[in-house]
Each structure stands twice: as C-alpha cells, then as structure tokens.
Amino acid sequence: MNTTATDVTTQVFRVHIKASPEEVWTAITDPDWTERYGYCTRSDYDLRPGGKYVSWTNDGMRAMGTGDVAVDGEVIEADPPRRLVQTWRLVMAPDAAAEGFTRVTWEIDGPKGGVTKLTVTHDLTGAPKLALYIAGDEGGGGGWAWILSDLKSLLETGEPMDKEWFTRG
C-alpha cells in the first residue's frame, strides 16, 4: 500500500493466515510472540478495559537514539480470541506522538478451512503524520503491511520474513 495523502483518516489492512484464531490472538498479545515479528518489539497488554498497552523499543531502535517506549496506549475492549480495540500512540516518533492517541481495532474471523482472517483497522483521525508512518511511507519501515505479513510468515512457517532487519543496531 502506498499512501501519501495527509488527510487519510482510516487505514484497513487484512491478511489471511493458516492458523487458528487462538494462535493469531496469542501472537498479537503475548510478549514472547510480539518480539519475534514485525519490528521485533516486546509488547505488554493488560487485557482489561482501561488496561495499559506498551510496545518497548528493541536494541537496534535504542542504538538509533529512541527511548525505551515505541508505542503506548490503553485497551478499550478485549474479547479473546476475536476482537481487540486499543488506543495507540507512536511515542518513538516525536512528530507523530504530538498528534496524540489514535484507535486500532483487531478483528479475528474464522477459521474457514483452517484459515483465519485478521483485519486491522487504524483510525487516524487528526494524525496525518502518523498515517504516513502507518502506511510505511516514512523512513522507519513498512508499517502495518510489514507487521501483518511478518506475523503471517511466522505463524505459517515458524520463521519471520527477516529477523535481522529491525533489530540491527
């Protein structure tokens, strides 16, 4: 996906994964899984409404001068293994962090024929700079498309697409 407009208010990403809804849920919410794909950051969820969400930076990110927190937010709704709604703020990018919290909805449907559909909807109202990061248009990487593709690869093959890319210092 290539998005350059700054007035984008919602981005939707969908991937079909040969895994159970429970396996997908675990990969999204278990810190031992979250550090194995995407940007290789350990994410901690308190899966209660009002619970804290923190995605910590990795060694490579800190070597580039980021702080300890990549993303933070709050859990709004958790219905394992079907739906997770949370607020989301990209702390490690000051320009995006200044735009405040946005909203991410994870919907897990299936399985149908052993395949689970994962849809991530990111409401970016009032966050045009973050919209560019999320779309993968800013210098930090591939955004949600990268994360979900890597999650799919990890669940289906046991290996991420490129485990070195986001952990290099």
List, in order, residues 6 or more apart from 138 with CB less than 8 Å away. Answer: 93, 129, 132
CB 53 within 8 A of CB 29: no
Q: Are 145 and 44 in contact (CB under 8 A)?
A: no
pLDDT score of 1: 37
Which of 81, 135, 86, 88 is closest to 111 using CA atoms? 81
- Residues 24-49, mean pLDDT to the nearest whole number: 96
Alpha-carbon span 75 to 167, nearest angstrom: 27
Give 138-169 pLDDT, tens digit per residue.
555 689 998 999 999 999 999 998 766 555 44
Q: Each residue of 6-23: pLDDT tens digit?
A: 566 999 999 999 999 999
Helices 143-157 & 128-135 angle (0-180, nearest 10): 30
What are the tens digits of pLDDT across the range 59-109?
989 999 999 999 999 999 999 999 999 999 999 999 999 999 999 999 999
Report the pLDDT value the prediction gives residue 113, as an integer from 0 to 100. 94
pLDDT at 162: 75
Superfamily of segment(s) 10-157: START domain (3.30.530.20)
What pLDDT sits at residue 29?
Answer: 98
Residue 40 near residue 167, CB atoms below 8 Å: yes
pLDDT at site 52: 98
**End-to-end distance of the chain based on CA atoms, in angstroms?**
27
Distances (CA, A) of 58 to 34, 47, 136, 153: 11, 22, 19, 20
What mean pLDDT do residues 114-124 have?
A: 98
Residue 2 clears pLDDT 80, i.e. is over it: no
Supply angle C-alpha 28, 34, 38, rounded to 5: 100
What pLDDT, on the 0 to 100 scale, is given for residue 36? Answer: 94
Bridge partner residues of 69 (DSSP): 56
Q: What is the pLDDT of residue 3?
A: 42
CA–CA separation, 155 vs 18, rounded Å? 8
Is the model's pLDDT at 38 over the cut of 70?
A: yes
